Amino acid sequence: MSCCAAGTEAALDAEKALHDLPPTDELWLASRQLDGGLRQTDLAVPGVHCGACITTLEKALKALPEVERARVNLSTRRVTCVWKEEVDGRRTDPSVIAKAIEAAGYESHLFSISADEQDATRNGLIRAMAVAGFAAMNIMLLSVSVWSGADAATRDMFHWISAAIAGPTLIYSGRPFYMSAYNALRHGRMNMDVPIALAISLSYAMSLYETMNHGQEAYFDASVSLLFFLLIGRTLDHIMRDRARSAISGLARLSPRGATVLTPDGGREYRNIDEIVPGDRLLVAAGERVPVDCVVMSGASELDLSIVSGESLPVAAAKGSALQAGGLNLTGALTVQAMAAARNSFVAEIIGLMEAAEGGKARYRRIADRAAEIYAPAVHILALAAFLFWGVYGGDWKHALTIAIAVLIITCPCALGLAVPVVQVVAAGRLFRDGIMVKDGSAMERLTEIDTVIFDKTGTLTLGRPRLVNKGAVSPKALETAASLALHSRHPLSAALAEAGSGDVTRFGTVSEIPGAGIEARDGEGLWRLGHRGFALNATDAGADDDAAGPETVLSLDGKLVAVFRFEDQTRRDAQGLIASLTARGFKTAILSGDREGVVAALARRLGIGFWRSALTPKGKVDEIGTASAHGHKVLMVGDGINDAPALAAAHVSMAPATASDVGRQAADFVFLHESLVAVSLAIDVSKRAGRLILENFALAIAYNVVFVPLALLGYASPLVAAIAMSTSSIIVVANAMRLTLGSGKVAKAEDQEVPMTPAVAS
């Protein structure tokens, strides 16, 4: 729905406690220092809802001599402003930024990415829609009696009852439109809510006048029905847009709220994450996430760095190892020294990458919003022209006002507003029945435009679960011994080994796990070790793992080799068939992975994918997608890890399995629940049908305006007829969208859909 609800009452209530402008000192301290005498401040502006808001705010801020650049993110309702520390030799007062935002008609406060605030706007819209729907239903029942020929006294009574129902309904349910229209007019702007507020207000006022003068016609049903249909479109659009913010909030939760700081006198002190500065010595216990970018001072452990690199196996860390924020400490305690503040650490960098990508998507959506800047004044000019023409030409100003109201009602963009969101909701339900969840409605439109599909490796093309592949090559006794040791470890390879064997957890009395090395235990036969080759064979150089052959773990007895267990990550079901199908349909395919070169190359050869990149950081993946986009490609990114989140956000459209990390699922536009990758092609098929239906809905909405607007201008449509026509056009649009669930368009379920299983030819 192209609209600018620049602050509903619900949103204002949620921010009432933050009405005062942030103090100058607070703004300065909360800003981030950049190079070249610049600083960056992030402010939350909850009243931002559409492209007109973005244009207004960015224009107001860029007009300030102190501001170098400003960018508004629609998804997070965040204003990022880069400003100069000094202007003409004087220190900048950052409060001018907040004052400029206030002067433009918006409230602001310091942005907190981890704040879990209830979506008051969404809840307010749902309540308003429910009240309007209930009121419209009851007023229509009363209107039926009037239309059936009720006498004067009964007709007046029903009109007064309708007025009593409609008045409070318009005041309560119409608040989003009234407040937005008032805010726009107060600051000399125009938006889509101005003609809407004018139409329902004039319609009610004229109906009340008719009722007071015992008139035969009143249009209370038209006013409330119009409001109800408008709120449906507004609510659907808000829900779809609001979901995009969940990824960034979820990612911020990965960074701990605080950390244990070792003080110079040897004590320990827990500090908020924002209070940690470079040089602080921190204690990171097993099971905790690394709070900021740091270097290990003492201790040894293994860390899950999937957020950083996508590496499928834990990585050993010892003195001197550099760690990035967000990594999960698995086994041993570490003493580390902070190398960067939280706002400059790795998690903050990923958040920044995601916000930059989401900002691009917001610009993609501005086209419809910008159309509102033309549509709103055009509607007013049309209604005013009709009023003046019929008033002067016919001499009946009451009749002229009726025609003007009918024009305002009939031109309300209900059908246009529902054309996109209703198809998105129906298509989302269609995909959900096939095990695919849609987070962002506009993603279906973008999915129809792709020509390139890029996959992450671990957890996407593979299941992220190691599997023992040489079970038949080792003796049953060695497997049983290794499985008994593996039961005492949470390492992924140990879990796979324990699953493959039939070990006895009570076989060994005392089992020790050495972080970054492996497990050891002693029995009557001697000292058993299970782990890295160098550790198990008690040698500093015992040979390296063969990347292409996959990871391995070694079992030894008193330093002598007993068995080598090799593993591979299980390929996701139908991965090879999907690649073959996509290639046959003309899509380019590629792998972008943070895993090792040999492992990625082997998988690419097995699946028939000709282009791949390994050992990529999250930024590296974003850069690769940016390069593809710069060459004109529309990319679908399929990934699952935390490290994939920026790439998922940066791609033209994105998809993740349900087994993905929370952040990966939130950053993706689609999430598929089945293990099979056939969901990728299924989503493409349904999205293409949805795209065709959206175009059909636009055509229907345009045809409606072409037919009925002239009728209203000529005086052949009363406000009631106009409301019925407007409602009918909305119903037709909804009915057309429902075709997505019927007949020939039905797509086979993911688990039943057949795909060719022949290897694809590498392109």
pLDDT digits (tens, 9 = 90+) for 396-454: 887 888 888 888 777 766 666 667 767 777 777 777 777 787 776 677 888 888 999 99
CA 520 to CA 524: how far, in whole Å?
14
State residue 169's pLDDT score: 94
Query: Catalytic site residue 116?
Result: no
When pLDDT is cut at 50, 70 and 90, the band that residue 549 belongs to is low
Q: How confident is the model at residue 70 (pLDDT cuts 50, 70, 90)?
A: confident
| Region 270-285 average pLDDT | 85
Q: Name the pLDDT band for 49 (thresholds 50, 70, 90).
A: low
pLDDT in the model for residue 378: 77
In this structure, what token pair is assigned to residue 213? 């003068």
Q: 45 by DSSP, 3-state: which?
A: coil
Identify the pLDDT of residue 527: 92
DSSP 461: I
- Higher-pLDDT residue of 548, 251: 251
pLDDT band at 26 (very low <50, low <70, confident <90, very high): low
At residue 611 the predicted structure's pLDDT band, cuts being 50, 70 and 90, is very high
Tokens 């019927």 -> residue: 742
Which residues, 6 or more positions from 141, have their beta carbon under 8 angstroms from its beta carbon? none
Residue 625: pLDDT band by 50, 70, 90 thresholds? very high
Q: What average pLDDT does the segment 620-640 reach?
A: 92
Spell out a b/e string for 650-675, using b for 16 or more CB atoms within 10 Å of the CB, else e: bbbbbbbbebbbebbbbbbbbbbebb
Write out pLDDT tens, residues 643-668: 788 888 889 999 988 767 656 777 78
Name residue, tokens 């192209």: 2
CATH topology of domain 465-570: Calcium-transporting ATPase, cytoplasmic domain N (3.40.1110)
Cα 741 to Cα 423, 441, 700: the distances in Å are 11, 17, 19
CB neighbours of residue 270 within 10 Å: 10
- Residue 702 pLDDT greater than 70, yes or no: yes
Instruction: For residues 51 and 3, give the distance between their C-alpha atoms in angstroms, rounded to a whole number.
Output: 9
pLDDT band at 131 (very low <50, low <70, confident <90, very high): very high
**Rounded CA separation 684/691 (Å):** 10
Q: Phi-psi region for residue 540, left (φ > 0), alpha (ψ -120 to 50) or beta?
A: alpha
Q: Rounded to the nearest 10 degrees, how much is the dihedral formed by the CA atoms of 596, 602, 607, 608?
A: 110
Q: Is the pLDDT of residue 745 over 50?
A: no
pLDDT over 80 at 34, yes or no: no
Question: Nearest 5°: CA angle at 427, between 422 and 428?
Answer: 95
Do the beta carbons of residue 336 and residue 342 sit within 8 Å?
no
Residue 607, token pair as written in the block: 């699946």
Domain residue limits, the chain: 9-118, 256-344, 465-570
9-118: CATH topology is Alpha-Beta Plaits (3.30.70)
Question: Among 85-99, 344-358, 388-402, 481-495, where is mean pLDDT lowest?
Answer: 344-358
- Checking if the pLDDT of 331 tops 70, the result is yes
Q: 293, 456, 595, 644: which is the annotated catalytic residue? A: 456
Report residue 315 as tokens: 């990585």
Mean pLDDT for the chain?
77
Token digits of residue 165: 């129902």
User: Is 458 in a helix, a strand, or coil?
Assistant: helix
- Convert the pLDDT of each residue in 134-178 to its tens digit: 998 888 888 777 766 667 788 888 889 999 999 999 999 999 888
What pLDDT does residue 1 have? 40
Judge whether residue 80 has pLDDT over 60.
Answer: yes
Residue 706: pLDDT above 80? yes
What is the average per-residue pLDDT within 597-626? 89
pTM for the complete prediction? Answer: 0.54
More confident residue, 375 or 227: 227
How many CB atoms neighbour CB 264 within 10 A? 6
Which CATH architecture does the domain made up of 256-344 adopt? Answer: Distorted Sandwich (2.70)
Orientation angle between helical segments 193-212 and 397-410, nearest 10 degrees: 140
- 230 to 190, 225, 708, 745: CA distances (angstroms): 18, 9, 18, 29
